[in-house]
Structure 1
Amino acid sequence: MNFKSLNKHFHFTKQQRIGLFVLFVIMIGLQMFYFLSDFSISETKSSEKEQWLALQSEIDQEKLIHKNAKPIIYPFNPNFISDYKGYKLGMSVEEIDRLMAFRKENKYVNSAEEFQKVTGISDSLLNKISPLFKFPDWKQNKNNYSTEKKVFSMKSFPKKEKFIILDINEATQEDLMKVYGIGEGLSSRILKQKEILGSFVSMEQMKDVWGLSPEVINELSIHFKAVIPSNLKKININEASLKELAQFSYFKYGLAKQIVIYRSMNGNFNNIEDLAKIKDFPVEKAKIISLYLEF
């Protein structure tokens, strides 16, 4: 067997021997790293992941509970049920309309039985919603008051203070907040609208105040009236400039411009009927607008 021919395959140069040595050192180092390293990190991450999954499961369960929970309905005065409120309670359109018509006559229901009589709702619906009715304390304690009146009938009581209707232009924020349904925000809007106009000339203008429901407007009309002040500053429709007309709450810039053009081409306006001929003029508010103008 010729060993010389095999020997030349195992003969390495100096650089090759150094390379083999370095490779050997690297292999030994990798083996030591494998045996000495701690690979328990994955287990820690796995346990953290399980904790997060458990927490997420609890959150999902809470969401499901809240989603399926029925909304809380608080007691309310049935005299002031809106269309949407009546619909949510299960009332028909006709039943809601009967209540609205009854309230427009400035009448109130004072018991669940009277509510059914006015609206015509079924007994089953009445049994369902009547526990939520909340009438004024003096109505709930009517029997007590009647008894007290009989027992103390011989005593002298002070006369009931006469109901006074206030001028809406003289009302303070405190006066307005005494009306059922009006808080600090709505009262501020009413006073701001009065400041913009100078004065109210009609209680119909309450409809222009954002946020006032028909029921609240009706209550305002009971407690207040609009007295036109003698010093109300009016706009001379035949002499006012475009800028002055555009600043008037009931005129937009486009309408004010049309008024000036019409006036220059056709002469002065004699009355509100002449003014109403202009395109886009708010005819439905003509009566109110005329009280702010001077012809």
Structure 2
Amino acid sequence: MRNLKSHFKFNKQERSGIFFLILFLIIIHVGYFVYDSYQINEKYPLNINSDFQVRIDSLKNVSLKNDTIKIYPFNPNFISDFKGYTLGMSTDEIDKLHNFRKTNKFVNSAEQFQKVTSISDSLLQVISPYFKFPEWTTKQKYKQVNLSSVKNVDATSGIVAWEDLNTATAEKLRVINGVGEKLSARIIKFRNRLGGFLVDDQLFEVYYLDEEVARRILKKFKVISKPNIVKININTATAYELSKLIYIQKEVAERIVNYRNLNGSIKSLNELLKIEEFPAERIDRINLYLSL
């Protein structure tokens, strides 16, 4: 007990030292509290060099672009909940579209999409440029050839003497007004990449071939001997095999394989319309080369 009391006995000098130490600690604590709670109400403008400010604004714009979700062309009939959310649609608007699709109906225009979903005019104006509807839902792009205007007709029988578009040489194609050496070679090259034309309208897909010139060609030529196309099985083909099809790019082919792996198999070729950047406007043409 005596040893314990000895720890609490201080002489006058020791007591003074302890007192000043405590006082010092209190002063530091109060000073820190005052400094921490002190706020500067007046705001002072920060002067920045104009060139430096331009660089800051430029970096801000780049950052905003990077943060923005990029929208690719898509078929609005297959908008998922997440896709609708990123487009700015409300839950009610998305549900209206899904309920409409459950009746096995499709929207075939931006106006019909708005009528079904009741989205605002401002939102429609933003997203409608990215709508991609299948080719059969739009007006026929290419007019059928008027046989009455065809000059390549046998005078005695009245039967049109067509020449085969799949066997026509470049020299024969150059007989058509507007088809020169380069254009005829481009038509032959496109035909070879396809393995031969399956339908007449594929001629309109030749690069830089004017629509009027294509019509002139179809007044003399048409697909007579169709090639034997080995259709690609969409459920077993690799991304490389799919990308060999002229209408499907490599990135889209990889997305098709990823979609197939996630869903087990593709049960309908129309499911391809759900895939990002798939050329929906050419689905009817692509279907000629694919099988399930």
With the shorter chain as reference, the TM-score category is 0.3 to 0.5
Task: Report which of the two has the higher share of helix.
Answer: 1
- Structure with more relative contact order (C-alpha pairs < 8 Å, separation 6 or more): 2
User: Highest CA radius of gyration, 1 or 2?
Assistant: 1
TM-score, scaled relative to structure 2: 0.44
TM-score (norm. length: structure 1): 0.44
